[in-house]
Chain A
Amino acid sequence: MDWQTSFAISGAGMKVEQTRFNVAALNLANANAVIGRDGSGFRPLSVIAGTTNYSAPFKSYMQKEQMLASYAPRIQGIVEQDVSPRQISMPGHPEADDKGFVQVPGVNSTLEMLNIITALRAYEGNVVAMNAAKSMAQKALDIGSGS
């Protein structure tokens, strides 16, 4: 197992969690951004994260350690969530329809808060893993310094 792999994996994980955090924050920030009558406006987004390599069972790649890095997570896409907008009664709003309703994105605030917390914790986990990899490698450098 080469020493760069653990850093590459942790780095990829941090990238993914960063994106998940950004998207959740974006959803929360736009939770009350009114969608225009023409339908133009924000739709809640969600992140599709996956591994690069689905093709073979994980265990067989564990044996070929060089391929481990190809299992590092990556962002496969950011897609719009399939939720309909919420209707809020706001008569007199310039974008209100004839019944006095405006549309705002159907952001599930609870779910987005949960995403933020899990992304944060997973990010911390990646940092811990990277620091552990570093101190492990530094221990490997101590080989032979006893004499």
Chain B
Amino acid sequence: MPTEGMAIARLALDAAMLRHQAIASNIANVNTAGYVPLRVNFEEQLASVSGNQGSGDKLQGVTPFIEQESKPNGLTPQVALDMEIVKLNMNTLHYQALLRAISRYTSIEVVAITEGSR
């Protein structure tokens, strides 16, 4: 049975892939008039389910999805190329970190399965 960390990490990898698509779309449309930047809705969903102390199925409804960005003060959001590049770098790093952490974490289970012979 996968641990909660592994389950969330799996969703987070999905979210990172989607976020890459959103950022790529934003960069591609940097000169498009009237374009509304895209973002990924994932952490909000995690935060909303983190409160309920139910059984293992609390991640059931959590699915990362792409949505249009909105500014609270009613301003139309705009694409800033350099900020998108910063986000792209962060996302790449996050993806790499997740992959590496998952791979190292599963290597603990490998120790158990192979009884430490590897």
Q: Do A and B originate from a single complex?
A: yes
CB atoms of A130 and B89 under 8 A apart: yes
Task: Out of B86, B96, B100, B104, name the residue touching A7 (CB < 8 Å).
Answer: B86
Closest B residue to A14 by CB, please name it. Answer: B82
Chain B interface size band reads 10 to 19
Q: Does B17 have its Cβ within 8 Å of any Cβ on chain A?
A: no
| CA gap between A3 and B90 in the complex, in Å | 9
Number of A-B pairs whose CB atoms are under 8 Å? 32
Contact of A141 among B82, B89, B90, B100 (CB under 8 A): B100
Q: Is the CB of B83 within 8 A of A134?
A: no
How far is the CB of B63 from the nearest CB of chain A, in Å? 23
Chain A proximity of B47: nearest CB distance (Å): 16
Query: Does the CB pair A138–B86 fall under 8 Å?
Result: no
Instruction: Assess the B89–A3 pair: CB atoms within 8 A.
Output: no
Question: Contact residues of A with B, CB < 8 Å?
Answer: 3-4, 7, 10-11, 14-15, 18, 130, 134, 137-138, 141, 144-145
